[in-house]
Amino acid sequence: MPTTAAIHPTAIVDPRAVLGEGVEVGPYSVIGPDVRIGPGTRIGVHCVVEGNTILGAECQAFTGAVIGSIPQDLKYAGEKTELTIGDRNIFREYVTINPGTKGGGGKTVIGSDCLLMAYSHIAHDCLLGSHIIIANSTELAGHIEIEDGAVIGGLVGIHQFVRLGRLSITGGCSRVVQDIPPYSTCAGYPTQVFGLNNEGLRRAGVSAEAKDALHKAFRVLFHSGLSMSHATERVAQEITDCPEVAHLLEFIRQSKRGVSRA
């Protein structure tokens, strides 16, 4: 451990852990032997970082966060798996994140610049992109994939193997049992598509032309009454020059659990 790490006297840091320059470890926190923490990351009070965990630079873990504890999966048999987390992520109070399992690919991954609010849980083998916001007490079961820029409200329950698309927004207290389409606004129990995430598209700098194309695609996909397979064929024929629409169609084609609809 570099001497530049600031470790509170009550913290327990295994001598085999690797801490980057300027890392701070707060009172009563515990850092395990296979943990690597990037420069400038701050670990708060009563936190635990354990397992085969890589935590990137300039992250913040607030009181009670538990990062890298073993999966809550009865099939887990102690195999060495991974948790890899990027840079500048914020983990608020009592966030919990589990590594992967042998049967699920062996790793949980979180990108960079994400905000996980208090009491949210990321289970084993989840794959999260960057710039994702997950609000308080939202629970992700195992094997979930979330694309860049997605926003999830509080008290949301997400079923195993579900995918949430790029720049989508899911309303609070929703039950997510099917894939959430990219660029969509969804909510409900179970979720339904209500339209485009216009504010998210604006913030991401999506062009007016792309937004118009997405509006046309959404009308066909979610309001035409066509089956999803016929709707995607029609959109592919009518809109051929928009990367955002192409991504939306490919996301739908790859769905295994089905896609939430209006």
pLDDT tens track for 114-123: 999 999 999 9
Q: In Å, what is the CA distance from 103 to each residue of 115, 124, 142, 146, 163?
A: 28, 10, 11, 19, 18
34: alpha, beta or left? (left if phi > 0; alpha if psi -120 to 50): alpha
Looking at this protein, which amino acid is placed at residue 33?
A: P
Residue among 83, 6, 22, 5 at smallest CA distance from 57: 22
Asked if 142 is an active-site residue, the reply is yes
Residue 1: what pLDDT?
47
Say how far residue 58 (Cα) sits from the centre of its chain. 18
CA–CA distance, 95 with 73 (Å, rounded to integer): 18
Strands 139-140 and 121-122: parallel
Q: In Å, what is the CA distance from 238 to each residue of 30, 184, 211, 216?
A: 57, 20, 15, 9
Confidence tier at 253 by pLDDT (50, 70, 90): very high
Asked if 124 is an active-site residue, the reply is yes
Residue 139: strand pairing partners: 121, 157
How many C-beta atoms surround the C-beta of residue 185 within 10 A? 20
CA–CA distance, 17 with 38 (Å, rounded to integer): 11
Residue 56: what pLDDT?
98
Confidence tier at 262 by pLDDT (50, 70, 90): confident
Of 51, 64, 142, 165, catalytic: 142
Looking at this protein, which amino acid is placed at residue 21?
A: E
Burial of 137 (0-12, 13-18, 19+ CB in 10 A): middle
Average the pLDDT over 120-135 and give the result.
98
Give the domains, in start order, of the chain with CATH numbers.
6-143 (2.160.10.10), 202-253 (1.20.1180.10)
pTM: 0.97
pLDDT beyond 60 at 2: no
pLDDT tens digit sequence for 10-35: 999 999 999 999 999 999 999 999 99
Looking at this protein, which amino acid is placed at residue 143?
A: H
Residue among 73, 67, 129, 142 at smallest CA distance from 97: 67
Of 87, 125, 148, 179, catalytic: 125
CA–CA distance, 83 with 93 (Å, rounded to integer): 19
Asked if 121 is an active-site residue, the reply is no
- Per-residue tokens: 80: 């060495």
How many C-beta atoms surround the C-beta of residue 73 within 10 A? 17
Q: Maximum Cα–Cα distance for the chain, whole Å? A: 65
Of 46, 121, 124, 143, catalytic: 124
Whether 193 contacts 262, CB under 8 Å:
yes
